[in-house]
């Protein structure tokens, strides 16, 4: 029996959509791959309690060759998932996955897809994969100077699609009967899934030319129309993207790209910064669209001019003046007690005259966030951005279909697809 190559996974607890960094030096790809397995070992010998080993071993896609260090926590990319590999198939690789995400198994497989891409996929294999899934965009890895001055390759749009396609092959195998929706706007139908998985298996067997560069060009084209980044509510104590599924379906049915994400909890300022970094990585205009706590994040990003526009649905905008019983209770639960903390997290106090267009929808009889707070914020935002609208909603602290349609029309009028 051929020897198996074992992955060493060092798991540490911590907080941490997916990112990837690689050296700009051309990678030498292997011609063949040994069967691989994972070994879960923490620094102190303890495990997180999650079956990382079983998740990787049950992958229906070929695993990348070589050793990979694993950390259950936030990585240097600043995302819930991150991957980094060195130069050559035997160089150290590292994957970070935040255990608190909705589906850590799928995120682990997505990040292993990045490692597979860096160590196995050649220029020929990448081109074949793009043809197989009808990806006509330019750019794979994008050369970029990091904050420390080092040069690195950052994952481009096709690179992220590959990791998502790899994940779907790992989870579902080559045969599916109906479309499966992933992150970064990637959708796998039966034909795309079958063709993409075939390229991955072919690359794992070393049937493509080995000469390839880690940099496939720095230019990529932005997709048509905006991306609506959907931010669920939950009082900063939960943020389940699945609750936004009706919005995702509604926008897609009307030709608007939409994706729901989660964000760090019990840290309003940290959640705003996290979503800002997510929006920065998206090609084309991003519209932040949030309900309740998610609405606060959307308004904050628009107040800073960090997104093309925002829809804030019943999100508090001034924590100092959020004195409803629910507001006082939530602030206590998330540890927001001082005036400095409240102002630092309040969209109202972030307005500086360079804000983005915003639609503010609030319930006239909302017991959680009073309508006068929405009025005060919209009036202040209007002074620096005349394209600010305030609408009273039919619902108290949610968005019914009639108000969703008004918000969708507001977006479509400003960023046509």
Question: For the segment 51-83, what is each residue's pLDDT rounded down to a tens digit?
Answer: 776 787 788 898 887 777 888 887 777 778 888
Q: What is the predicted pLDDT for the residue at 69? A: 80
- Look at residue 18 and tell me whether its pLDDT is greater than 50: no
- Residue pair 288/355 in contact (Cβ under 8 Å)? The answer is no
* Average model confidence (pLDDT) across the chain: 80
pLDDT number for residue 83: 84
pLDDT at 48: 58
Q: Any idea which residue has 């090609």 for tokens?
A: 283
Show the DSSP H helices in 281-317 as ranges.
293-303
Q: What is the pLDDT of residues 100-153, one digit of tens each?
A: 888 888 999 999 998 888 888 888 889 899 989 988 877 787 766 555 555 566
Question: Residue with structure tokens 């995120």?
Answer: 107
Give the pLDDT score at 145: 59
Whole-angstrom distance, CA of residue 157 vs CA of residue 162? 9
| Predicted local distance difference test score (pLDDT) of residue 368 | 94
pLDDT tens per residue, range 147-191? 555 556 677 888 889 999 999 999 999 888 888 888 888 889 999
User: At CA 229, angle to CA 191 and CA 179, rounded to 5?
Assistant: 15
Q: Which domains does the chain have, with CATH numbers?
A: 5-204 (no CATH), 227-414 (3.40.50.1820)
322 pLDDT more than 90: yes
Percent of the chain with pLDDT over 70: 79
Confidence check: pLDDT of 208 > 90: no
Distance of CA 271 to the CA centre of its chain: 13
Q: Residue 363: pLDDT above 90?
A: yes
> If DSSP codes are grouped into helix, strand and coil, which group holds residue 360?
strand
pLDDT of 389: 95
Q: What percent of the chain has pLDDT over 90?
A: 46
Instruction: Name the nearest CA neighbour of 376 among 330, 316, 300.
Output: 316
- Residue 394: helix, strand or coil by DSSP? coil
User: Under DSSP, is residue 73 helix (H, G, I), strand (E, B) or coil?
Assistant: coil
**Cα separation, 360 vs 233, whole angstroms:** 15
> Which pLDDT score is estimated for 207?
81
Alpha helices by DSSP H, 177-324: 190-204, 245-253, 268-280, 293-303
284 confidence band (pLDDT: 50, 70, 90): confident
Is-contact 360 374, C-beta < 8 A? yes
Q: What angle do CA 74, 76, 80 make, to 5 degrees?
A: 35
What distances in angstroms separate CA 338 from CA 215, 269, 342, one per listed residue? 48, 14, 6
Q: Which two tokens stand for residue 398?
A: 């949610």
**Mean pLDDT of the region 247-261:** 92
Q: In the structure, what pLDDT confidence band is assigned to residue 374 with cuts at 50, 70 and 90?
A: very high
């Amino acid at each position: 029996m051929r020897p198996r190559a074992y992955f060493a996974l060092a798991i540490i607890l911590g907080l941490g959509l997916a990112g990837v960094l690689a050296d700009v030096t051309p990678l030498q790809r292997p011609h063949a791959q040994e069967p691989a397995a994972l070994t879960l070992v923490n620094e102190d010998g303890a495990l997180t309690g999650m079956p990382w080993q079983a998740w990787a071993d049950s992958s229906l896609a070929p695993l990348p060759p070589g050793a990979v260090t694993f950390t259950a926590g936030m990585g240097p990319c600043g995302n819930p998932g991150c991957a980094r590999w060195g130069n050559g198939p035997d160089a150290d690789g590292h994957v970070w996955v935040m255990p608190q995400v909705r589906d850590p198994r799928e995120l682990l497989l997505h990040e292993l897809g990045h490692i597979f891409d860096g160590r196995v996929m050649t220029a020929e294999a990448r081109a074949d994969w793009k043809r197989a899934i009808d990806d006509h965009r330019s750019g794979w890895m994008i050369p970029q100077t990091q904050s420390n001055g080092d040069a690195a390759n950052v994952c481009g749009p096709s690179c992220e699609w590959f990791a998502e396609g790899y994940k779907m092959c790992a989870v579902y195998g080559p045969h599916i009967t109906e479309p499966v929706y992933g992150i970064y706007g990637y959708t796998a139908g039966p034909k795309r899934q079958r063709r993409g998985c075939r390229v991955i298996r072919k690359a794992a067997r070393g049937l493509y030319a080995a000469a390839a560069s880690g940099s496939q060009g720095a230019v990529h084209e932005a997709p048509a129309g905006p991306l609506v980044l959907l931010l669920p509510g939950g009082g900063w104590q939960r943020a389940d993207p699945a609750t936004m599924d009706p919005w995702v379906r509604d926008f897609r049915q009307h030709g608007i790209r939409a994706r729901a994400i989660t964000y760090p909890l019990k840290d309003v300022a940290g959640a705003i910064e996290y979503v800002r970094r997510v929006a920065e990585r998206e090609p084309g205009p991003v519209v932040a669209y949030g309900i309740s706590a998610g609405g606060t994040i959307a308004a904050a990003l628009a107040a800073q001019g960090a997104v093309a526009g925002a829809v804030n649905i019943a999100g508090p905008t001034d924590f100092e003046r959020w004195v409803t019983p629910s507001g006082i209770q939530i602030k206590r639960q998330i540890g927001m007690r001082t005036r400095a903390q409240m102002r630092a997290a309040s969209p109202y106090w972030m307005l500086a005259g360079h804000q983005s267009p915003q639609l503010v929808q609030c319930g006239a009889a909302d017991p959680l966030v009073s309508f006068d707070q929405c009025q005060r914020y919209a009036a202040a935002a209007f002074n620096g951005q005349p394209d600010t609208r305030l609408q009273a909603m039919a619902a108290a602290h949610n968005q019914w279909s009639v108000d969703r349609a008004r918000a969708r029309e507001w977006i479509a009028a400003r960023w046509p697809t």
